[in-house]
Structure 1
Amino acid sequence: MKLYEEPFQAIQSGKKIVEIRLNDPKRRKLEQGDTIEFTKLPGEDEKLIVKITKLCTYPTFREMFEDIPAEKFGIVDNNIEKRVESIHTFYSSAREQEWGSLAIEIELLSS
């Protein structure tokens, strides 16, 4: 999976332990205990290996943000409206309604 620099660095530093994705067919194949390789964008020259410790699905990103503490996303600001607005720049409301959201709790194995 690919990540932009800010979330990549937050995972690398241990500040971010939950990654957010659509619960699309590709993500539905993930299981607790699987490993994920994150590649940093744009250069794709750095990688992180993480282990999935927990998977939680939600009908909407809003419900996810209301349930999971902001700190787990590596976020200081707990403004849920801003977070929903921000995630919709990556994933449209239509795709969210179609697939729902997935919180992937992770543990860093190597960077």
Structure 2
Amino acid sequence: MVYEMLLAPKPFEMMKSGQKTIELRLYDEKRKHIQIGDCIRFYCTENQAQTILTEILDIHIFDNFTQLYKELDLLSCGYTESNIREAKPEDMEVYYSREQLEQYGAVGIELRVITPVH
């Protein structure tokens, strides 16, 4: 199965380069269907002609982002040495409302890029 998701330019570039290998999302109805071995095609939000095809290697499910941030390697999740000290679960409020964050759990989708970017 191939799923499609949007990704902001900076995390898109980090995933393309292999620096980011875990995508953080709400564990909502859409994400509950994904399985190891499925693929996700990411589209860059600023230029959807740019895509990356990835394969799901592992799925890390948590009750909330607080738990996720304690358990996963945040450098693999898109943080860098320069901003890892400031990393906090509330960072996800840029992407999701507080209500969504409370309603759904969190998932870290571990990926590897399988095709070059177009």
Shorter-chain TM band: over 0.9
User: What's the CA shift for 1:60?
Assistant: 1.0
- For 2:84, the aligned partner's letter is N
Percentage identity across paired residues of the two chains:
24
> In proportion to residue count, which structure has more helix?
1
**2:8 aligned residue (4, 10, 15):** 4
**2:101 aligned residue (82, 87, 96):** 96
Map 1:27-106; keep pairs closer than 5 Å.
Answer: 27-76=31-80, 77-79=83-85, 82-106=87-111
Number of residue pairs aligned between Structure 1 and Structure 2: 110
Q: Residues 59 and 101 of structure 1 are in contact (CA less than 8 Å); yes or no, is this contact kept in structure 2?
A: yes
> In proportion to residue count, which structure has more strand?
2
- What secondary structure is seen at the aligned counterpart in 2 of 1:44? strand
Distance 1:102 1:88, change over 3 A: same
Paired with 1:79 and 1:61, the residues of 2 have a C-alpha distance of 16
Q: Residues 52 and 105 of structure 1 are in contact (CA less than 8 Å); yes or no, is this contact kept in structure 2?
A: yes
**Match for residue 17 of structure 1?**
21
* Uncovered stretches (5+) of structure 2, i.e. residues with no partner: none
Structure 1 runs (4+) greater than 4 angstroms displaced = none
**Match for residue 26 of structure 1?**
30
Paired with 2:13 and 2:23, the residues of 1 have a C-alpha distance of 12
**1:15-64 C-alpha deviation (Å, 9 max, x unpaired):** 00000110000110000000000000122110000000000111111110
* Uncovered stretches (5+) of structure 1, i.e. residues with no partner: none
Moved more, 45-54 or 94-103: 94-103
